[in-house]
Amino acid sequence: MSASIETELKLQLDPTAFNTLLADPKYFSEAAVTRDQVSTYFDTPLYALRRAGLSLRIRRIGDRRIQTVKAESAATASLFARAEWERDVASDAPEIDGMTEKLSHALAESRDGGIAPIFVISVTRTGIVLKKNGSRIEMVADRGVITAGDHTVAICEIELELLDGDPADLFVVAREIAVRVPFRLGLRSKSERGYGLVMGEMPVSAVKAEAVRLTSDMPAGEAFAVVVNACLRHFRANEDMVLVTQAPEPLHQARVALRRLRSALSIFRPLIKGVDADRLKAELQWISSLFGEVRNVDVMIGLIDDEQALRKLRRARRQRHARLSKALSSRRMRILTVDLAEWISVGAWWDDDAVAELRASSISVFAGQVLDRLRRRIKRGGRHLEDIDEDARHEVRILAKKLRYSGEFFAGLYPAAKARRRHDHFLAAINKLQSALGDLNDLAIGRALLADLGVAEGEALLAATGKHKPGRLLAKAQNSLDDLIEMKRFWR
């Protein structure tokens, strides 16, 4: 059975926005059809299908049973396109023979027993087919619940699936919706969320970046898309917690995700020169700066031990977090996420003839060149950290971030044991370098922040912490940088 390609966007809405959109005749007219559907997902006891990047379900709609296998997209260049195999079946038990070679292989390789139901997704679905610029798009509103044993999680989302036409039209509709109601881009499939519920992986605290899954035979353009998508997933995994909990750690991780994303745009700059890239960079700088304003206060709250100063800092945090929350919930932010998702999926850079050869080149070659170039620059710029001014040290700190993130992005290209050991040593050294330079930067920002808030004796308060001695930090940074330059490169 041949696979079809499912191309879709998911938009996550709160119940009020969901009901508002569902009542909008521009989208859900009288022609819309509402029906209940129950989807049961299957796997082996040790989740062999999930490990193979597959999901298997049987969906029940009335008396009809539809069996579907999907190849999940987390490791591919597109967040919004997945291969799927679908057919009608006679019962609620999967029929494996002839479904897909990949599925059969995964089950044959499994040593942990046969397949069984692992979670169920029950939704009320209202659907209609829209026409946009000659494309046909199925728009569905799903509201329901995922159930795994005694655990449940709610679903409230809109799906836009391209039936035929131009994938860019999906994003046209999403931008139209962004004007009408608030939403957040959904980057996790229902099956991912179901597995997360089963395996206790539903995020309840800050989420760190996932491994970026690149292969040595991957073209540089495709690898760039994988990296950006991983950064987007990292951001979205923390964004909701930033708004709900207002805790420092998910805010920090969301900020890191944005920094990694902006670094990726810089690292892969030769592939993506153009007006669209510059505009997106500017918008990412806008939202990143608002995260930074809150994070700067959090750092000072963790350092200062003076109740009067802390009261001012906490008041400033509430104000800055309110500005950040307003921005995250704004139409501008919704448009940014849609624009970014469209650009990385079907943007003009994919068809730029001027960089076609570079875009198609091996990511292994590209990665080695990037890592070598950044290493040379940081070696040249950081020879005498104690003798250069703050601006020059700041430039070294930015280079260190880019080198670290490049090392993390490209780590999967070097799977040999020796390369992994060298990579671990590389990360340890660069983390020490970043930590020392970051602490120096925190001192500079902290002095300005405390002065801006009218905190008396800010310099003395920082000095009283005893944690950040500039001379000691400079020596630590220099030693770490020297170690980094002397060690063998994991990419060679």
pLDDT value at position 390?
Answer: 80
pLDDT at 72: 67
Strand 81-88 with 33-43, pairing: unpaired
**Distance of alpha carbon 67 from alpha carbon 58, whole angstroms:** 4
Which ranges of the chain have pLDDT less than 50? 74-76
Residues 362 and 352: their CA atoms lie apart, in Å, by 17
| C-alpha dist (Å) from residue 313 to 165, 307, 318 | 53, 10, 9
Q: Identify the DSSP state of 487.
A: S
Beta bridge partners of 17: none
Q: What is the CATH number of domain 206-359?
A: 1.40.20.10
Residues in the chain: 492
Tokens of 322: 């309110």
Topology annotation, domain 4-202 = Hypothetical Protein Pfu-838710-001 (2.40.320)
Give the domain ranges of the chain. 4-202, 206-359, 362-492
Q: What is the pLDDT of residue 78?
A: 55
- Running DSSP on this structure, what letter comes out for residue 211? P
Nearest to 303 by CA among 442, 477, 470, 437: 442
Give 80-139 pLDDT, tens digit per residue: 777 888 899 999 999 887 666 677 777 777 777 788 999 999 999 999 999 999 999 999
Neighbour tally for 45: CB within 10 Å: 12
Closest alpha carbon to 51 in 67, 82, 74, 77: 74
Closest among 278, 277, 290 to 328, alpha carbons compared:
290
| Cross-strand bridge partners of residue 152 | 147
Contacts of 114 (CB under 8 A, 6+ apart): 44
Residue pLDDT, tens place only, 376-395: 999 998 888 888 888 888 89
DSSP-assigned states of every residue in 322-363: HHHHHHHTSHHHHHHHHHHHHHHHH-GGGG-GGGHHHHHSBH
Q: Which residue in 280, 259, 284, 286 sits closest to 400, CA to CA?
A: 259
Compute the distance between CA of residue 234 and CA of residue 239 in angstroms, rounded to an integer: 9
What pTM does this model have?
Answer: 0.92
